[in-house]
């Protein structure tokens, strides 16, 4: 069994490098139920034993990332358009589209970006210190889902 730090390192490869995180705090799989990010649940999503077509991961943002987002989130996120690594060992890193602020009260702004292939979405929630990564390989995440955080 892999340790939590290794699983976190593997999970965060889908995120742009500027979005530094401390841990995976929740995960969901095919059933759509959110659960804690225990080693067994997280390993089931990340290891290639079977492919999970739809799911999500919640990450806790690192303190320096939270501080940078408070000083100007859109400016900070504008260049966050390429994932750290590819999904597979030798794969091409995922590319992310432009970032958008979702409607809401000023202190509770959320920021979102979709993958160029339309199958994944990121939400950054600066006030709660969370970034959410969700994917759906079978149908993609359509436009009306883009503003809603899972």
pLDDT in tens, 2-30: 566 777 788 888 999 999 999 988 877 65
CA distance 130 to 98: 19
| pLDDT per residue as tens digits for the range 70-86 | 999 999 999 999 999 87
Q: Give me 5's structure tokens.
A: 């730090």
Phi, psi of 57 (to 5 degrees): -135, 135
| pLDDT per residue as tens digits for the range 87-106 | 777 778 999 999 999 876 66
Which residue's structure tokens are 């959410």?
132
| Cβ atoms of 112 and 102 closer than 8 Å | yes
Residue 124 to residues 39, 44, 54, 134, 145, Cα–Cα distance (Å): 24, 24, 19, 12, 15
pLDDT of residue 35: 53
Sequence spans of domains, the chain: 4-145
Closest CA to 87 of 2, 12, 22: 12
């Amino acid at each position: 069994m892999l340790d939590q730090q290794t699983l976190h390192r593997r999970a965060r490869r889908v995120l742009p490098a500027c979005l530094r995180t401390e841990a995976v705090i929740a995960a969901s799989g095919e059933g759509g139920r959110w659960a804690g990010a225990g080693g067994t649940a997280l390993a089931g999503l990340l290891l290639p034993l079977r492919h999970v077509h739809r799911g999500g991961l919640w990450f806790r943002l690192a303190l320096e990332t939270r501080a940078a987002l408070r000083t100007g989130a859109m400016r900070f996120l504008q260049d966050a358009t390429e994932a750290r690594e590819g999904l597979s060992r030798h794969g091409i890193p995922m590319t992310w589209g432009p970032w958008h602020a979702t409607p809401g009260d000023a202190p509770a702004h959320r920021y979102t970006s979709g993958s160029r292939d339309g199958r994944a979405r990121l939400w950054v929630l600066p006030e709660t210190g969370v970034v959410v990564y969700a994917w759906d390989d079978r149908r993609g995440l359509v436009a009306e889902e883009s503003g809603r955080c899972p």
